[in-house]
């Protein structure tokens, strides 16, 4: 039951669609422009760097809030499995972001929300996430590649930390559950990025720049 509650908490927080609401505040439906994705990268390309950073912060913070609330509620009653419950909350927030019911289950790809989960889950994961993503992004300007490699690193570090006892007195069964959930989240991210993966393979994935103009016309058709 605790797992379902945490998943539900996360999903509710995840329903706050930063890109959609920011776009509406500026007179557009972000899903009808650029790539059609209601997320940070498309917002940055369509509405500019400031908009992209605001949307990233919103999506990141909603997942962090879900994890923090879960920790606050359950750390006293379930201290031995608090990391597992926090992971469920993070997963729920990513699901809510990717598949919001009130938007016809058409949301984003969950990377900014994942960043929030990584930042609030355990300090060890922050170094990995920041190093891998920005190391890749700043050298290649490929957001998708950085995002996919962060998920790969997340799964690997989850298993290493779990087997080394970083998460405390969790049973092996609970650790395996955490690993399976991390793999499922990675699988969902790779599925959401399947078109990006094809473009990466063919070498024609679009590059994104923070300090150079990459804004697209809001009337541009979807690519």
Q: Report CA Rg, the chain.
A: 17
Instruction: Give me the sign of the Cα torsion angle 138, 106, 158, 117.
Output: positive
Query: Distance (Å, rounded) from C-alpha 220 to C-alpha 99?
Result: 24
In a domain, residue 223? The reply is: no
In a domain, residue 209? The reply is: no
16 lies in which domain range? 2-202
Query: Strand, coil or helix: what is 64?
Result: helix
Q: Burial of 37 by CB count in 10 Å (0-12 exposed, 13-18 middle, 19+ buried)?
A: buried
In a domain, residue 102? The reply is: yes
* 122-123-126 Cα angle (round to 5): 100
In a domain, residue 114? The reply is: yes
b/e 44-63 (16+ beta carbons within 10 angstroms → b): bbbbebebbebbbebbbbbb
Query: Distance (Å, rounded) from C-alpha 18 to C-alpha 39?
Result: 8
How many structural domains are present in the chain? 1
DSSP 101: G
In a domain, residue 195? The reply is: yes
In a domain, residue 221? The reply is: no
In a domain, residue 218? The reply is: no
Summarised one tens digit per residue, pLDDT across range 192-220 is 999 999 999 999 988 888 766 554 544 44
In a domain, residue 208? The reply is: no
Give the pLDDT band (50/70/90) at residue 12.
Answer: very high
Average pLDDT over residues 66-84: 93
What does the pLDDT read at residue 83?
95
């Amino acid at each position: 039951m605790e797992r379902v509650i945490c998943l539900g908490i996360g999903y509710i927080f995840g329903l706050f669609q930063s890109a959609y609401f920011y776009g509406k505040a500026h007179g557009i439906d972000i899903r009808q422009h650029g790539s059609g994705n209601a997320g940070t990268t498309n917002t940055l390309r369509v509405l500019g760097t400031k908009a992209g950073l605001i949307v990233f912060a919103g999506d990141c913070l909603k997942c962090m809030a879900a994890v923090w609330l879960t920790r606050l509620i359950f750390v006293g009653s379930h201290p031995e499995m608090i990391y597992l419950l926090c992971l469920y909350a993070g997963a729920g927030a990513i699901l809510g972001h990717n598949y919001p019911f009130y938007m016809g289950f058409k949301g984003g790809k969950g990377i900014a929300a994942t960043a929030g989960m990584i930042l609030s889950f355990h300090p060890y994961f922050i170094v990995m996430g920041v190093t891998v993503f920005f190391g890749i992004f700043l050298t290649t300007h490929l957001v998708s590649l950085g995002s996919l490699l962060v998920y790969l690193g997340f799964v690997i570090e989850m298993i290493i930390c779990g087997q080394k006892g970083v998460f405390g007195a969790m049973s092996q069964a609970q650790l395996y559950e955490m690993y399976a959930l991390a793999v499922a989240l990675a699988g969902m991210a790779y599925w959401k990025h399947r078109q990006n993966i094809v473009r990466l393979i063919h070498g024609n994935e679009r590059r994104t720049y923070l300090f150079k103009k990459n804004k697209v016309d809001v009337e541009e058709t979807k690519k």
